Every structure is written in structure tokens, then in C-alpha cells.
Amino acid sequence: HAKEAERGTASVFDPVMHLRATGRLRAQSELRTALAEEQFVVHYQPVVALDGGALTQMEALVRWNHPDRGILLPADFLPVMAETGTIVVLGQWLIDTVCAQIAQWQQEYAGPVTVAVNLSHREFWATQLLSTVTTALEQHGIGPESLILEITESVIMSDPDAARQIMSDLHAVGIRMHIDDFGTGQSSLHALRAFPVDALKIDQSFIHQIDIDHQTTELVRIIVGMGRTLGLEVVAEGVETTAQADRLRTMGCATAQGWLFAAAVPGEEAGRMLGRPLGPRVPTQR
């Protein structure tokens, strides 16, 4: 199964329990060591046009290549980092690393490259977010149109007025904002209209129910339609089957992301996908 393949050699060791048990100070020193020893890696998953398969952007997804425990996925370590606040430091490293990768790809491939970065609550509300991002863009000599920031509805709704201000500041320098896991939160498309949002990413739990649950299928159709009406790009997350892709295309959904096209892969491998269309692949193929 592709998810297991993605997990690599992840062990039964539970890093969440471990970090929780060892406490905040230990977590911070482990993070520093991991950053210093370059144990974190960024994998990239293509987002493709459903019509034609052109790669439109990449999503950066962090992994922890732990010396003893193998490749750890975000769910294994981000919750504790969010609790302790170390996620902000990881995020700063990630934004810098992604900008360096964009600069390298733009040189090698000589075309526009756009990468989306996920922001957790803590990262979004960190006072230095705007300067972290603009500094990284400047240092690597890339334009704001190369970077997308993904946040969830719950980040916005936790303090809508303050969130609108932060999003507007980011937008003002040219950075696009995407709503991740759309449909799982409490907000309505109508409420989101008041925010500088460029795209909705429909949560994979909806996509996996296409043609299985009638109501969810219709909900996806409505989200796609309303998104288009509001002039938003709509991305379907977690597309695993050609049936899902076909149905989404018929609904008018322009872009998708999922194992049907490609899993998240290391930068070098992702770079080889730039500039060539990605058709559906056999799920067992990596």
C-alpha cells in the first residue's frame, strides 16, 4: 500500500509519547539537534491540472529522517512540536529550505515553480511570520508568486479579524493563501469571502467518499461550483483513483493532488517532474 511505502521503515516506537514523557526542554534540545544534524527533510507532492496533467504547483511536506526510528511523518512529531512551540522554529527552517529549493529549480528548469507550505496555528500567529517569509524570499532571490501558504479554516476562525489583517499583509506582498482541508471546519464559503483567499483544497475525506456516499458526492459538487463562482481555484486532495479524477473533472474541478498522480517525494525526484505532464499512475508504482 502506498501509505506504507511512504512511511518507509517507521518503527513501533511512539515519538509522540516519547516527547511528551521527556518534556518541553528535552523536546527543544532534540529539535535543535535534529535541525543541526539535518534530520528533517522536505518532500514535495505535485498538484496537477485534471485536464492534461500539467504540474501547477508542489506542496512541501516535512518528514523527520530519524537516525534510529526511520522516516517519521508529520502526525508523529508535529503535535508535540505544536504543544511546545518548537514548530515555529521548524517552520522557519522549512520556509528557508523551500525557498532555496525553488531558487534551484528555477535555475535548472528555467520555468515558474510554485510551492505551497503548510502553516500550523502557532506559525500563523507568530509575530515574525511576515518577516520570516519576506526575508527568505529576498535571500534566495525569488518572487512572492512562487510561494503559497496553506492554513485551515480553524486558524482563521479562531480570531477572524486578526487573521484577516495578517492574511491581507501577506497578500499585499504578493503571497497567495490557500484554505487546507476545506470542509472539515466550521466556516462557510460565504464567511470566507471576507478573507483574501485564493484557493480551496477540498479535504481528502470528502474525495474518498466520491461515488461511495451520495450526499458527500453532491457536497463536493457544491463546493467546486461555489468555489468557481467566487473565483477561487479548487484543488481536490487525496485523489487515489481514476474514477475520482474523472468525476472531479466532470464537476469542473480544475486541479488535484494525490497518489494517483504522485506521492510526496524528495526534492531531487520532485525536480524531475517539473515541466512534464503527470498522468494517472498505477498505485503500486512509486
Q: Identify residues 58-77 at the interface with Mg ion (CB under 5 A).
A: none
Q: Is 240 in the site for Mg ion (CB under 5 A)?
A: no
Strands (E), the chain: 40-49, 55-66, 70-72, 115-118, 147-152, 176-182, 199-202, 233-236, 255-256, 265-266
How far, in Å, CA of 279 to CA of 247, rounded? 16
| Interaction mask 134-173, ligand C2E, x per CB under 6 A | ----------------x-----------------------
Q: Is 262 in the site for ligand C2E (CB under 6 A)?
A: no
Q: Which of ligand C2E, Mg ion, none does 106 bind, CB closer than 5 to 8 A by kind?
A: none
Q: Is 181 in the site for Mg ion (CB under 5 A)?
A: yes
Q: Which lies closer to ligand C2E via its Cβ, residue 121 or residue 228? A: 121
Q: Which lies closer to ligand C2E via its Cβ, residue 75 or residue 107? A: 75
Looking at residue 183, what DSSP letter applies? T
How far, in Å, CA of 192 to CA of 130, rounded? 21
**Residue 161, C-alpha cell as written in the block:** 479579524
How far, in Å, CA of 51 to CA of 249, rounded? 7
| Cα→Cα distances 257→164, 280, 286, Å | 27, 11, 15
How far, in Å, CA of 150 to CA of 266, rounded? 20
**Count of residues binding ligand C2E (CB under 6 A)?**
27
CA 240 to chain CA mean position, Å: 17
Q: Which lies closer to Mg ion via its Cβ, residue 30 or residue 181? A: 181
| Interaction mask 167-206, ligand C2E, x per CB under 6 A | -------------xx----------------------x--
What does the binding site for ligand C2E look like in residue numbers (CB under 6 A)? Answer: 3, 45, 60-62, 73-75, 78, 91, 94, 118-120, 123, 150, 180-181, 204, 237-240, 257-259, 264
